Amino acid sequence: MAIKIDEIKLTLNDYKTDVHNDWCPGCGDFGILQSVQMALFELRVPRHKAVIFSGIGCSGKTPHFVNVYGIHTLHGRALPFAIGARLANPELNVIIVGGDGDGLGIGVGHFVSSGRRNVNLTYIVYNNAVYGLTKGQASPTLKLGMKTKSLPKPNINDAVNPIALALVSGYTFIARGYSYDVKHLKEIIKKAILHKGLSFIDVLQPCPTYNDINTKDWYMGKDRVDPKTGKPMPRIYKLEEEGYDPYVYNLDDGELEKKWIQVIEKSLEWGDRIPVGIFYVNEMTSSYEERIRDVISDYFENPPVKQRISTDGGLSNVNLERMLAEFSTRLG
Amino acid sequence: MKIDQLSWMIGGPQGSGVDSGANIFSRAVAYGGLYVYGKREYHSNIKGEHSNYVVRVDSKPVLSHLDEIDFLVTFDPETLFRHIHKVVSGGVLIYDVNQENISIDKIPTIDKAANKRIKAFLSERGVGFSVGDVVNYAKQNGILTYGVSYSKLLEELAERLNNPQIARMDVMINVMAVAISLALLQYDFKFVQEAIKYVFKAKKKVADLNIESARFVYEYVLKNFVQTNYKLEAVDRNDDYILIQGYQASALGKIAGGCRFQTYYPITPASDESVYLEDNAVFDLVDGEGKGSIVVVQTEDEISAITMAIGAGLAGVRASTATSGPGFSLMAEGLGWAGMNEVPVVVTLYQRGGPSTGLPTRHSQEDLLFAVHTGHGEFPRIVYASGDIEEIFYDVVKTFNYAERYQLPVIHLIDKAMANAIMTVKKFDISKIVIDRGDLVESFNDGVYKRFKFTETGISPRARLGVENAVFWNTGDEHDEFGHITEDHEVRTMMVDKRMKKLEVALNEIPNDDKAVIYGDEDAEYVVLSWGSTKGAILEAMEKLKGDGYKLKFIQVKLLHPFPRDLVIDMLGSSKYLIDVEQNKMGQFGMILKREILRDIDYYVLKYNGRPMSLSEVYLALKLILDKKANKIQVLNHGD
């Protein structure tokens, strides 16, 4: 008899594989991996209903460490792969993970275009400002003029603003997490999974090997001590702790515009104060799946994956008569 | 009097209704039980550049076009200048008398090269450069010329229908021109009326007005014009036929063959197929099964198109994308990933002239070697080529069956000639459509699932995403049976062997009839070898050569990769002379042939000017070879 997943008691360990993890010791990726595993576990997403797509780079290996369907795709292309799977089977919980170079460099076209679609997916970008696996070149999120230790010269490109780009591209859930705050990040991921539409989570993820600027100590403000308390003043702060309201409640009365401006303002904060938390949630905008349903009315009940394509005898089950009549050369 | 045998051309600026005119003509003729083959030529342009449509009509099936034109239907001077030299003596020219004074130099859309060529042609014959000069030249050469004043016809029609607006309705001139030609052919008006209704079915008022106008033109022609040497008579035909274009056949094949997910990025000439699918996203299933549907996604680029289709393939859905050369170039990396991860996906590749943007709206067969070798590294793929519009429909289903059975990408080679040609073919018989999904795992309770399990055939049971107990991993990195990354040297060898083994299995399992087809005289010393849309012109040329007393056979190879070497060698039998016919410069198919059958090619008939081979030129080229007068390489260059 088949074992029904929901009949057995799931543990966090069920979401882990025994594949050796070869990330550098102290890598920020570990925190993200843990957060993803915990989010899936806490939401009790059945293992076979979850798929993690990844791109290329250190982050690309993530799926191999999570015991759900794991698809390690091409550099920059995880989004379209994931969209194809999700539209074919809208019952799948689809998470995409990738690096900043993957999503905002080579894959930036898909990053923007996916926003226009708003497919129900959760996209997590590991943002460490360097290309780690190829030995530390500047990534699209490294600021202009910065010189990390593996760069021969200071960065000659300016950085893209992932939060603002996600907003103007049409993402309907936009957040930022910090990889060493697993508890906080895990909650964001859970909300993103439950969100209807395309979610984007920018995760600040120090690369201990190649980025000697945006380090764990830097984020925690170890370089700047409060003269009064003698304690470090962390750069990271949580939006929700400052009464920030990310939700769009309606699309009229200039509400959307106000929220957009608010997100842009917050997205510009960097240096002394770096916000994490949820920047923007908009469930008013239709998802791509809903837009498909407007054309194919039974899309959710009868998506591509559920459609029979042959008779019991293995022949086509399509009746082409009506379509062929269009081309008939017989009159009347 | 030539009855039911005609090569008819209409031309005009793009946007002036050349297409709808040709559609009305083709459909009217097909309604009368006649066979039609229509070839469309157009520029990469929206409005103004020259386009033309050649329609060949016969009472027996027609598979290709002719260079010679019996009826040249014009309403602009450019068409006249460009095509008059092809009109046969005894043929017909319809032109606008109001344009008689227009000189070729006043037509900016005749570019410098064409202007120079046409002038040289006219000068050599002592002909001036105006429409009137050319019409006189036509008359002297035995062409019956019918000068019409379209504006006067419109004025008279306006008067008759008591609607002064009609006098300015230039948009109706195309249908008038078509009606003149059909009236001259003494063709039954009822078919014309039905064809107009069909073409303008979305706009009843437009249809009604055009029918009135056509009726008026019919009367005018009967009253004013002398008879031609041609006549079209309707025939009775019992079987059901359809008049269809290649892209429509491909789209219908996808629906019938179970494709439920299609992606595309707009590109000529491939996007017509996807747009047709979008327009017909919901379709009927057999009784009791309700409706089926296909999700069509217009992507941001072709990288997204291929990878999205692969994603849907992973989810267990038959998925495909349709593109042309430039788009296919972008798909190379995605195709390799599908090969590496053994994901079924079909790429419908509508070839056009390359390289780079090349000739966006013109025909070629330049992508064969690219299709066989796309991508870095070594991975299995199947490359399959259809030879005509009817084949396309049935072949599409095979490509999906191969993709799923052997778990690999399949490239279905079509081309611009077939995509935009219109042809009467036997109504597609869906009862012949067999769906083979291969070893697809819908449920799994048998221990630990290994997506890339080593098997004798190299084919592992394929779970789709979402199957309980069958969680798996994929990666573009080399991987183990589970799909996890490995760089182990032994596993590497085994995995490469596993993947490539599937091609051997495919080659063994695919029936011979689906690999290559032999036509003509099996004992012939001369054998034509070809692939794709050259089939029609070759078959008709062979028929004609047979009538001349020549012996010839033709092997059409459909499965181009993996190459059916043994079958082709067997089919060659004792043939002495190999003739490679294809539409590229390098003789790409010939290169594959040489490599596989280890024989040299004796003759090449090649064409790469962006226009499909005609029956006329293939006949002449093959005749030269059979008469032992041909050079090793003949380059055909007829164009329009």
A275 phi and psi, to 5 degrees?
-80, 140
Q: Domain containing B550 — which CATH number?
A: 3.40.50.920
Closest partner residue to A323 among B252, B295, B304, by Cβ? B252
pLDDT for the residue numbered B417: 97
Phi-psi sector, A315: left (phi>0), alpha (psi -120 to 50), beta: beta
Quickly count: other Cβ atoms within 10 Å of residue B356's Cβ. 8
Quickly count: other Cβ atoms within 10 Å of residue B385's Cβ. 28
- pLDDT digits 0-9 by tens, A50-73: 999 999 999 999 999 999 999 999
- Is there a single domain that holds both residue B28 and residue B175? yes
Q: CB–CB of B466 and A48 under 8 A?
A: yes
- Is there a single domain that holds both residue B445 and residue B380? no
Q: For residues B476 and B336, give the distance between their C-alpha atoms in angstroms, rounded to a whole number.
A: 8
Spatial neighbors of A204 by CB under 8 A, at least 6 apart, are A28, A127, A128, A176, A177, A178, A179, A214, A219, A236, A274, A276
Please tell me the pTM assigned to this model. 0.97
How far does the CA of residue A317 sit from the closest CA of chain B (Å)?
5
Of all residues in chain A, the one with the smallest CA distance to B191 is: A331
Give the domain range for residue B449: 440-509
Whether cis (ω within 30° of 0) applies to the bond prior to B562 is yes
Please, where are the H alpha helices in B270-357? 271-279, 302-314, 325-330, 332-341
B394 phi and psi, to 5 degrees?
-75, -35
Q: For residues B403 and B410, give the distance between their C-alpha atoms in angstroms, rounded to a whole number.
A: 6
Q: Which amino acid is at A286?
A: S
Q: CB–CB of A113 and B297 under 8 A?
A: no
pLDDT for the residue numbered A6: 53
Residue B433 lies in a domain: no
Identify all chain B residues contacting A90, using CB atoms and an 8 Å cutoff: none
Q: CB–CB of B333 and A74 under 8 A?
A: yes
Question: What's the rounded mean pLDDT across residues B296-301?
Answer: 98
Closest partner residue to B300 among A73, A109, A316, by Cβ? A109
Confidence at A253, pLDDT banded by 50, 70, 90: confident
Total domains in chain B come to 4
Q: CB–CB of B466 and A92 under 8 A?
A: yes
Residue B610 lies in a domain: yes
Identify all chain B residues contacting A316, using CB atoms and an 8 Å cutoff: 256-258, 397, 430, 433-435
Confidence at A9, pLDDT banded by 50, 70, 90: confident
pLDDT for the residue numbered A281: 98
Q: For residues A69 and B467, give the distance between their C-alpha atoms in angstroms, rounded to a whole number.
A: 10
Instruction: Among B480, B509, B538, give the residue marking a domain's end.
Output: B509
- The conformation of residue A240, written as its DSSP 8-state character, comes to G
Q: For residues A111 and B125, give the distance between their C-alpha atoms in angstroms, rounded to a whole number.
A: 63
- Is there a single domain that holds both residue B128 and residue B8? yes
Average pLDDT over all residues of chain B: 97
- Is there a single domain that holds both residue B360 and residue B444? no
Quickly count: other Cβ atoms within 10 Å of residue A138's Cβ. 26
Q: Are B192 and B29 in contact (CB under 8 A)?
A: no
Q: Which amino acid is at B123?
A: S
Burial status of residue A170 (CB atoms within 10 A of its CB: 0-12, 13-18, 19 or more): middle
Burial status of residue A243 (CB atoms within 10 A of its CB: 0-12, 13-18, 19 or more): exposed
Question: What's the rounded mean pLDDT across residues B417-438?
Answer: 96
- Is there a single domain that holds both residue B275 and residue B261? yes
Of all residues in chain A, the one with the smallest CA distance to B429 is: A320
B6 phi and psi, to 5 degrees?
-155, 140
- Is there a single domain that holds both residue B200 and residue B340? no
B138 phi and psi, to 5 degrees?
-60, -45
Helices A255-267 & A162-169, crossing angle to 10 degrees? 160
Residue B236 lies in a domain: no
Give the domain range for residue A63: 5-306
- Is there a single domain that holds both residue B17 and residue B161? yes
Q: CB–CB of B435 and A316 under 8 A?
A: yes
Residue A59 lies in a domain: yes
Residue B307 to residues A248, B191, B255, B640, Cα–Cα distance (Å): 33, 47, 21, 38
DSSP string, B217-263: HHHHHHHH----SEE-------S-EEEEEHHHHHHHHHHHTT--EEE
Residue B500 lies in a domain: yes
Identify all chain B residues contacting A330, using CB atoms and an 8 Å cutoff: 31, 240-241
Q: CB–CB of B27 and A329 under 8 A?
A: yes
Closest partner residue to A77 among B297, B303, B485, by Cβ? B303
Q: For residues B309 and A121, give the distance between their C-alpha atoms in angstroms, rounded to a whole number.
A: 17
Q: Which of A81, A86, A99, A82 is nearest to A32 (CA)?
A: A99
Q: Which of A294, A304, A286 is nearest to A119 (CA)?
A: A286
Instruction: Among B391, B425, B459, give the residue marking a domain's end.
Output: B425
Question: Helix %, strand %, coil % for chain A, to 5?
Answer: 35, 20, 45
Closest partner residue to B466 among A19, A67, A89, by Cβ? A89
Whether A7 shows a pLDDT value over 80: the answer reads: no
Residue A220 lies in a domain: yes
Quickly count: other Cβ atoms within 10 Å of residue A265's Cβ. 11
Choosing among A296, A321, A327, which should be mutated to test the B contact, i.e. which has the most B CBs within 10 A? Answer: A327
CA A223 from chain centre, in angstroms, equals 31
- Is there a single domain that holds both residue B50 and residue B111? yes
Whether B123 shows a pLDDT value over 90: the answer reads: yes
Question: What's the rounded mean pLDDT across residues B151-166?
Answer: 96
Of all residues in chain B, the one with the smallest CA distance to A297 is: B282
Q: CB–CB of B242 and A89 under 8 A?
A: no
Q: For residues B13 and B536, give the distance between their C-alpha atoms in angstroms, rounded to a whole number.
A: 28
- pLDDT digits 0-9 by tens, A80-127: 999 999 999 999 999 999 999 999 999 999 999 999 999 999 999 999
pLDDT for the residue numbered A1: 37
Residue B390 lies in a domain: yes
Choosing among B259, B398, B471, which should be mutated to test the A contact, i.e. which has the most A CBs within 10 A? Answer: B471
Q: Which of A232, A212, A211, A236 is nearest to A223 (CA)?
A: A232
Question: In the beta sheet, which residues pair with residue B530?
Answer: B556, B581
Question: What's the rounded mean pLDDT across residues A295-324?
Answer: 97
Total domains in chain A come to 1
Residue B430 lies in a domain: no
Whether A187 shows a pLDDT value over 70: the answer reads: yes
Q: Are B497 and B458 in contact (CB under 8 A)?
A: yes
Residue B549 lies in a domain: yes
Q: Which amino acid is at B304?
A: S
Q: For residues B388 and B365, give the distance between their C-alpha atoms in angstroms, rounded to a whole number.
A: 14
Residue A321 lies in a domain: no
Question: What's the rounded mean pLDDT across residues A159-182?
Answer: 98
Confidence at A8, pLDDT banded by 50, 70, 90: low
Q: For residues B183 and B537, give the distance between their C-alpha atoms in angstroms, rounded to a whole number.
A: 30
- pLDDT digits 0-9 by tens, B171-205: 999 999 999 999 999 999 999 999 999 999 999 99
Q: CB–CB of A316 and B304 under 8 A?
A: no
Identify all chain B residues contacting A315, using CB atoms and an 8 Å cutoff: 431, 433-435
Question: What's the rounded mean pLDDT across residues B412-439?
Answer: 97
Whether B14 shows a pLDDT value over 60: the answer reads: yes
Q: Domain containing B414 — which CATH number?
A: 3.40.50.970
Residue A314 lies in a domain: no
Phi-psi sector, B373: left (phi>0), alpha (psi -120 to 50), beta: alpha
Residue A329 lies in a domain: no
pLDDT for the residue numbered A3: 42
- Is there a single domain that holds both residue B528 and residue B562? yes
- Is there a single domain that holds both residue B65 and residue B173? yes
Residue B523 to residues A64, B527, B539, B549, Cα–Cα distance (Å): 60, 9, 17, 14
- Is there a single domain that holds both residue B505 and residue B519? no
Closest partner residue to B317 among A63, A88, A112, by Cβ? A88
Question: In the beta sheet, which residues pair with residue B412?
Answer: B348, B384
Of all residues in chain B, the one with the smallest CA distance to A21 is: B485
Residue B238 lies in a domain: no
Q: CB–CB of A309 and B258 under 8 A?
A: yes
**The token pair that represents A42 in the structure block:** 């806490």
Residue A326 lies in a domain: no
- Is there a single domain that holds both residue B301 and residue B411? yes
Identify all chain A residues contacting B475, using CB atoms and an 8 Å cutoff: 63-64, 71-72
Confidence at B396, pLDDT banded by 50, 70, 90: very high
Q: Are B428 and B368 in contact (CB under 8 A)?
A: no
Question: What's the rounded mean pLDDT across residues B488-493?
Answer: 98
Strands A274-281 and A173-178: antiparallel
Identify all chain B residues contacting A17, using CB atoms and an 8 Å cutoff: 484
- Please give the interface size between A and B, counted as residue pairs whose CB atoms are below 8 Å apart: 256
Helices and strands per DSSP (H, E), number in chain A:
10, 10
Percentage of residues of chain A with pLDDT beyond 70? 97
Quickly count: other Cβ atoms within 10 Å of residue A217's Cβ. 11
Q: Domain containing A133 — which CATH number?
A: 3.40.50.970
How far does the CA of residue B121 sit from the closest CA of chain A (Å)?
41
- pLDDT digits 0-9 by tens, B605-640: 999 999 999 999 999 999 999 999 999 999 999 997
pLDDT for the residue numbered A2: 42
Question: What's the rounded mean pLDDT across residues B224-252?
Answer: 95
Identify all chain B residues contacting A296, using CB atoms and an 8 Å cutoff: 281-282, 293, 295
